[in-house]
Structures are given as structure tokens and as C-alpha cells.
């Protein structure tokens, strides 16, 4: 039972810290390398709809399943975890 409580607490933390909300986001890619190269820093924008956010939140349940299965893999001999289908969103990036 202690493990279930710990998993529930972890999932609650993840739910409370879930960062995605519907709206417009900007992202700047900046790369560093020990080798010299030429790169111009660019900024992009993308939008997430409420539907996107709702879909991404489905990963919280997937995370709970993943943590539980990893623990069972360690604790139970011959435990076979189920495949987890993670939810992704690939928004269109617009250079700004």
C-alpha cells in the first residue's frame, strides 16, 4: 500500500505542475558545441489548442502506468509490462 501512496503522490505532483495550457508559445533554439559551427539563432511560434492540451494530459495516466510497471518489473519475476502508447502533439512551427 505504501507504494500506491507514493505513486499517487507523484502523479498528484505531476498533475499540479503540468505546464501546458491552450495558447501561443514561442521557442528559441540555441546550440552549443565543442566544435565550431555557424548557426543563426532563430525564434519560432506554435499554438496549442485546448484539445491538444487535453490529449497531452492523457500522458499523466500513462506515466502512472509506466512507474507501476517499472516497479513490478523489479519486484516480480517474469513480469511482462504492457506497451504504453504515449500521446504526442507536433505543432506547426512558424518562424518569427
pLDDT per position as a tens digit, 3-50? 678 878 887 888 888 889 999 999 998 888 898 888 788 899 999 999
pLDDT, position 3: 65
Name the residue range of residue 55's domain.
Answer: 2-95
Is residue 1 over pLDDT 70? Answer: no
pLDDT, position 30: 82
Question: For the purposes of burial, counting CB atoms within 10 Å of the CB of 53, is it exposed (0-12), middle (13-18) or buried (19 or more)?
Answer: middle
pLDDT in tens, 47-64: 999 999 999 999 988 988
What's the maximum distance between 2 C-alpha atoms anywhere in the chain? 55
- Which ranges constitute the DSSP H helices of the chain? 2-16, 50-75
Q: 3-class DSSP state for residue 78?
A: coil
Distance separating alpha carbons of residues 48 and 74, to the nearest angstrom: 37
Distance separating alpha carbons of residues 90 and 96, to the nearest angstrom: 18
The number of folded domains in the chain is: 1
Amino acid at each position: 500500500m505504501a507504494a500506491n501512496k507514493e505513486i499517487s503522490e507523484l502523479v498528484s505532483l505531476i498533475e499540479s505542475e503540468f505546464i501546458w495550457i491552450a495558447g501561443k508559445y514561442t521557442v528559441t533554439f540555441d546550440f552549443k558545441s565543442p566544435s565550431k559551427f555557424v548557426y543563426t539563432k532563430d525564434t519560432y511560434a506554435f499554438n496549442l489548442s485546448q484539445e491538444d492540451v487535453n490529449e497531452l494530459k492523457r500522458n499523466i495516466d500513462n506515466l502512472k502506468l509506466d512507474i507501476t510497471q517499472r516497479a513490478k518489473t523489479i519486484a516480480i519475476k517474469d513480469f511482462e509490462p504492457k506497451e504504453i502508447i504515449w500521446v504526442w502533439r507536433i505543432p506547426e512551427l512558424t518562424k518569427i
